[in-house]
Amino acid sequence: MSRMRIIHTSAINTAYRTPWAREHLEDYYVKLAHKDGYRCRSAYKLLELQQRFHLLKPNISVIDLGASPGSWSQVAADIIFKTHRQLNNTLIAVDIQPIDHINNVTVLSGHDMTLDTTRDKIKSLLPSGVEVVMSDMAPSPTGIKDIDNHKIIELCRIAMSLAKDVLVDDGAFVCKVWQSSLSDKLQKELSDSFKSTQLVTTKATKKGSREKYIVSRGFKVLGRGKYL
């Protein structure tokens, strides 16, 4: 599938003057994303999770939280709309930051997931629940580990709450964490609602990063009530 590339030569030449930019542009996954037409390197994190866990399938519905600039939604759209889009087949991409148009994707830019109005709007767009909720949300880091750990877990809990409201039976939930005692506690809580949970590091995660993904599968819808 052909995709519009968003990195321009003039911007690269200018940015390349800084050490951070040189490291970024020489990054293997940045180069690969540019070559493959993905909007950023994080596409390969989801591709690896997909290869390992087979979360995404044709003709299912998915919510992508923290979606900007849209690389996870690009990956998901390629899989779930592989044949054609069905009437009840939905991919919703949500972020407080801008997200450019992606074919077949319902884009909610400028939407704050901490607000009830955003969560209510997402639910109103879903005909019959979703099979996968995935969250790549992360706060702007302060550099103070305890504060950052609490902030990202708060976002995970918001995503988890939405997932519990909208997932169909046996659905899946993925969320990004920075590994800490708080993320361990969250994983344990998720194990009460899902048949399996795993803490995963992807190959595309930068060296030295505490970034992990909690992959939870087999949602136990019993006890929540039927999704309406």
Q: Which fold has domain 40-219?
A: Rossmann fold (3.40.50)
Q: Which residue has the higher pLDDT, 83 or 216?
A: 216
Query: Which residues belong to the active site?
Result: 176
Position 129 scores a pLDDT of 94
> Measured between alpha carbons, how far is 42 from 217 in angstroms, rounded to an integer?
21
Would you state the torsion angle of the CA atoms of residues 24, 28, 30, 33, taken in this order, to the nearest 10 degrees?
180
- Give the contacts of 80 (CB within 8 A, at least 6 positions apart): 56, 57, 58, 59, 60, 61, 62, 89, 91
Task: Read off the pLDDT band of 88 (50, 70, 90).
Answer: confident
Least confident residue range of 9-23, 78-92, 135-149? 9-23
Res 84 pLDDT > 80: no
Position 83 scores a pLDDT of 74
Cα 119-120-121 angle, rounded to 5 deg: 90
- The Cα-based distances of 28 to 52, 87, 215 in angstroms read 21, 38, 25
Q: Where in the chain is the domain with CATH 3.40.50.150?
A: 40-219
What confidence tens digit (pLDDT) does each residue in 99-117 have? 999 999 999 999 999 999 9
Q: What pTM, to 2 d.p., does this model score?
A: 0.86
What confidence tens digit (pLDDT) does each residue in 163-202 have? 999 999 999 999 999 999 999 999 999 999 999 999 999 9
> Measured between alpha carbons, how far is 214 from 150 in angstroms, rounded to an integer?
16
Least confident residue range of 12-16, 33-37, 123-127, 188-192? 12-16
Res 15 pLDDT > 50: no
Strand 167-178 vs strand 211-219: parallel, antiparallel, or unpaired? antiparallel
